[in-house]
Amino acid sequence: MTTTPYDDLLLWASEIQAGSLASLNRAAEWVAANVTDATTGRQLIHDLHCLGHIETDERKWAVTPPTWTRLADGGGNGVLIGARPRWLEKQLDDLDGSEFKPLRDLADYVTENTKIAQEGPATWYLTVGPGADVAGLSEVGIRVRDDLAGGLVSHLRSNGTPAVFREVRPGELAGRLVEGTQDGATGPEWESVSGDRRPGTYRYFRNHRLIYAEKIDATTWREREFRWAMWFPHESAHPQLLYVPTARHLYAVGAVRLPAEVERALVLRSGRLPRRGVAQEITHTDQPTARYENVTLAFAEAIAGILNKKVVMH
Amino acid sequence: MMTNYERWNRALCGRFLQQNDAPLYLYTDRAVIEEVASDAGVDTTQATEAFLEAVVSTLGGAEPFERWARVARSTNREEQPPYLAVLCFLVYVAVERAETKFQYYPDLNRHLCLRGHGAPPGFDHHVPSIFRHFNEWLVANDGRFGAPTAKEHAHFTNIGWPLSQALVRPSDRGLLVRLFREAGIRPAQRISGAQLHSMIRRPLLTAADTPSKTRLTTLDNDHPEVFRAVVEQEYQAWNGSVSLTGMQRLRLRLAYEPTCGEWWFATLPVPELDALQWRVGNVTGKMRRAKGVYATPSDLWSLVGAGDVGEIEHGPTLTSPPRAHRWLSIDRGVGGWVEVLERDLNADQFLLLSDPLPIDPPAPVQRHNDAPAGRTMYMVPSGVELDLPTEAGAKSTSSRKPRLSGGLILRAATNTYLWCSTGVPEIAGVDDLVQVDGSPAVKAVEGTASLRDLALPPGQHTAVTNSGDLRFTLLRDLTKPPVVYEESWIDSVPDGDRVAVPHTDGDVWLVGPNGEAERRRVHTPRWLGDLDLYSNEVEMTGMVTNCWFKPAYVIADSYMGKPHVIPVPAALAIADADAEHRPIDIDAARRLVTRLIVGCGPDERRSDKAWKRCLAELMRSVNR
């Protein structure tokens, strides 16, 4: 398979392993300038994140350890996520000739070892038949996990959604979310307001940065990361999650991506990035959507529950 | 050959005399001058100085405006008015009068290098005459270049002419039109200035806080008679349309949000343009009351500073003026850092440049790490002044110093890059040819030479340019086994609770501890077929949690002959009271039992007591 600029970015991240967010931004912008579509560097970073290859915080990033996870409802197929340094790629591409015994032992059981391109680093499907000793992968540093997508959802359900409660205004008031605009083609709209007494979702400036918070009552704010704030606004049905049971597709409607943790859980159902575009036959509007593959109704409902929403059946 | 003045006049005619019949205001500020600077062949950074110099150089003699009054008298309607730049100059002085409020003449005299606080000689005759001739010229052209709006003022007899074009900005006029509509005023009625004033006062006080509201309110408080005259004039020019009077171009402002590192184009929200279609580069959208234009085209960085880069349907052109450097200030309305015209010493600002500053800035100025590719960004705290290079200066600096740019860098200190098709850097700051390791020379385009087509192998390389050599290394890899990775998010996530069984064909059975059994049909997920992936397992999690009894085992046929028997994890073995109770298919169940006990039972379950009990119960059940 021909490597793409997206694969090059993952290769770079795998070789360098960790660094400042600025270095990742620079690399991603450079790669984005080398692909012909409308991708931005920021989108590439989000894609790497939701594919499980990297982890970021406000200042740093680090590559995820190479990990093999078997997909739920995936016909026994597994995907390799995390670091993909050149030496490991070479060993896995030629399991029979690998210098590591656990990989040579695994070779007889492997039924699928293929990379499938997408608008991001290619998905690496590595599938083993019954009786294979996948634990041996740990000897070359590959972690083995069953159904990471399901694990992420369990984790979110048991730990709650990320939020910080504040009893003082989180910053200088900079607008109130115009309800229902989160799923528009151009993203959420904010209106100028003189106060934040009413319940709702507001944004504030703090240390030159925008902070998003939901006003819950007279003295309490729930501060959230932007995507959480948009997908979890105050008592709102917007944006919507649409489900197509026959195709097992879940559509997230609107220009704002799902919160990173939720998007990662959905992407790790198949190892594929969502297909983005307008799905008029589903939404009957020109709103942008992201379509996720291999989502069962139970999983879609679990995701909706995390976002305090209801799945709309198509 | 055209003189500098003629070039400015032609550029301003192009800016103001457009083919429409809307009221025409010659509102001229720094932004307008910068906007037309490139049409006048002048660098944007020196636009205002160049404009003033070009006009003032024509205003000599005992009576500076006498010559242009003569020209205005003799201008026929077919030719563009050669005195328009002079009128714009007079309006510019009125716009820039902020320091002296309505003391217009001191500023004008300063520009003309005249002493005194009074009017320049002949001003009271010639300036009204030029404005009157301009009005007549517009009328003579049937208003196709715009309807005249310049007029004498009852309180400021002579300077009323330029002030009539400068007292309120295009956006202020937009607000006035909105106030007329909110107050229920219809156009072309006989309403006095005092009546208009009292009708729009309340809507003005309750309007949203905007700079336009502030300016109009201040004007009303400080000079109510002037405000009434402005309102009356605006009303007379208003034809009832909601489009913005006088607005021909709407400036796109570069906006930045550091939290998510996002860049986009924004405009002020313009209520009159609400719901109209806009286009910027390759993206389109609708004007929204709260947002204005919010555009993130894929080619954003090639549009920044490219001039006219879009339009609003039936509305103004969207423009991004060229600038050597861009200042960004916090804008609460837009919700991010937004481009402003100039340095505000009272505020922290970002400074965006094409090239790093040639000399290190003072310590409080920090280089910002999240600059977009090919640009340099600084955080400049309030109170810090910077000497900035001009566009030409910046270019010459960059052309003297070739440097590596882009690429996937592994070690900055040693110019080491990842060897892959996207990893090779470019050579920036070169005007001519670049040769690497003696390979055929690469020609620089717009100061940058791409090395991608050279297919350089891993190893050390030397790029030779006219201005010096650059050494860099392409490295295949950095990491070698064994690699020990730190704990990550993977380690904090539990495995998902699921049960699956190897499966290639046929049905799957759920078996309970008390002889219950149910046959289920299974299908290969469609998405696997779409990707041409093979399926050798079937997911049972959904089925075991949707069964009328507590399933203890899942059994699937195997092409090897031995059925696969997989225990159901206790967490999933829950009877669903609402699930359909399907009767057991006795014949099929007997065949299953036969396969399980005759010769080829599952090896791994031979010593499993629970399995043996379950199988015994199943046998009893099917033989009952």
Gap between the Cα atoms of A279 and A21, Å rounded: 34
Residue A178: count other Cβ atoms within 10 Å of its Cβ: 18
- B260 has pLDDT over 80: no
CA angle A171, A176, A179 (to 5 degrees): 145
Q: How confident is the model at residue B389 (pLDDT cuts 50, 70, 90)?
A: low
d(CA B212, CA B268): 12
Q: Which of A35, A153, A205 is nearest to A43 (CA)?
A: A35
**Other CB atoms closer than 10 Å to residue A11's CB: what's the count?**
24
Distance, CA of B601 to CA of B562 (rounded, Å): 6
pLDDT of residue B606: 64
- Burial category of B385 from C-beta neighbours within 10 Å (exposed 0-12, middle 13-18, buried 19 and up): exposed
Distances (CA, A) of B248 to B32, B137, B169: 11, 20, 13
Residues B317, B328: Cα–Cα separation, whole Å: 22
Q: Is B507 in contact with B521 (CB distance < 8 Å)?
A: yes
Backbone Cα Rg of chain A: 21
Asked whether the beta carbons of residue A23 and residue B418 sit closer than 8 angstroms, the reply is no
Q: How buried is A260 (Cβ within 10 angstroms: 0-12 exposed, 13-18 middle, 19+ buried)?
A: middle
- CA–CA separation, B26 and B495 (whole Å): 70
DSSP string, B526-546: HHHHHTT----EEE-HHHHTT
pLDDT confidence of residue B188: 77
Burial class of A167 by CB neighbour count within 10 A (0 to 12, 13 to 18, 19+): exposed
Question: pLDDT value at position B400?
Answer: 52
Residues in chain A with CB shorter than 8 Å from the CB of B257 are 210
| Cβ–Cβ under 8 Å, residues B621 and B585 | no
Chain A residues lying within 8 Å of B527, measured CB to CB: 248, 270, 293-294
Query: Which helix H or strand E contains B463, and what residues bound it?
Result: strand B459-465
pLDDT value at B245 more than 70? no
The residue behind tokens 């006990």 is B597
Tell me which chain B residue has its CA closest to the CA of residue A99.
B481
Residue B504 pLDDT > 90: no
Query: What letter does residue B292 receive in the DSSP assignment?
Result: B
Contact B251, B32 (CB under 8 A): no
Considering only CB atoms, A111 lies closest to which of B260, B261, B534, namely B534
Region of poorest pLDDT, from B67-71, B78-82, B331-335, B538-542: B331-335
- With a cut of 70, say whether residue B1 has pLDDT above it: no
Shortest Cα distance from A285 to chain B (angstroms)? 14
CA distance to partner chain B, nearest, from residue A176 (Å): 10
Task: Measure the CA–CA gap between B306 and B319, rounded to whole angstroms.
Answer: 8
pLDDT, tens only, B437-477: 888 888 888 788 999 888 899 999 999 988 888 999 999 98
Check residue B444 and give its pLDDT. 87
What is the per-residue pLDDT across A113-127, written as a single tens digit (0 to 9) for each?
999 999 999 999 999
Q: What is the pLDDT of residue B30?
A: 83
DSSP B38: T
Q: Which of residues 167-226 of A touch B (CB under 8 A)?
A: 172-175, 178, 181, 185-187, 189-192, 194, 203, 205, 208-211, 226
- Strand positions, DSSP E, B173-324: 249-251, 253-257, 262-266, 277-280, 283-286, 294-295, 307-312, 317-320
The percent of residues above 70 in pLDDT, for chain B, comes to: 90
Gyration radius from chain B CA atoms: 38
Mean pLDDT throughout B339-346? 77
B482: cis peptide before it, omega within 30°?
Answer: yes
Q: Which of B175-179, B364-368, B396-400, B530-534 is least confident?
A: B396-400
- A175/B333 Cβ within 8 A: yes
The answer for A 67-106 residues in CB contact with B (under 8 A) is 67, 70, 72-77, 82-83, 85-88, 100
- From B479, B490, B528, residue closest to A67, measured CB to CB: B490
- How far, in Å, CA of B491 to CA of B494, rounded? 8
Pairwise CB contact (< 8 Å): A40 & B533: no
> Phi/psi at B154 (nearest 5 deg)?
-60, -35
Does position B18 have pLDDT exceeding 90, yes or no? no
Q: How far is CA A98 from CA A160, B68, B391, B415, in A?
A: 43, 88, 57, 33
Whether the pLDDT of residue B392 is over 50: the answer is no
Beta-carbon separation of A87 and B524 below 8 A: no
Average pLDDT of chain B, as a whole number: 83
- The pLDDT assigned to B202 comes to 83
Query: For residue B252, which of B189, B370, B152, B334 has the smallest C-alpha distance?
Result: B334
A27–B contact, CB cutoff 8 A: yes
**Residue B87 region, left (φ>0) first, then alpha (ψ -120 to 50), else beta?**
alpha
Q: By three-state DSSP, how is residue B93 classified?
A: helix
Give the number of other Cβ atoms within 10 Å of residue B621's Cβ. Answer: 18
Which one of B366, B489, B504, B505 makes the best mutation probe of the A interface by having the most chain A beta carbons within 10 Å?
B489
Phi/psi zone of residue B518: left (φ > 0), alpha (ψ -120 to 50 degrees), beta?
Answer: beta
Instruction: Give which of A209, A244, A278 to mutate to test B binding, by max B Cβ within 10 Å.
Output: A209
Please enumerate, as own/partner, the contacts of B358-364 that have beta carbons within 8 Å and a separation of 24 or more. B358/B389, B358/B393, B358/B397, B361/B386, B362/B386
Inter-residue contact A273 to A119 (CB < 8 Å): yes
Residue of B nearest to A109 (CA): B536
Q: Is the pLDDT of residue B507 over 80?
A: yes
Number of Cβ atoms within 10 Å of the Cβ of B492: 11
More confident residue, B99 or B584: B584
Is A37's CB within 8 Å of B528's CB? no
Nearest to A212 by CA among A261, A263, A265, A162: A162
CA separation (Å) from B614 to B419, B567, B608? 60, 11, 10
At residue B99, does pLDDT exceed 70? no
CB atoms within 10 A of CB B362: 10
Q: A253-291 pLDDT, tens per residue?
A: 988 899 999 999 999 999 999 999 999 998 888 889 999
Question: Using the beta-carbon criterion (under 8 Å), do A174 and B332 form an inter-chain contact?
Answer: yes
Report percent pLDDT > 90 for chain B: 18
Distance, C-alpha A310 to centroid of its chain: 20
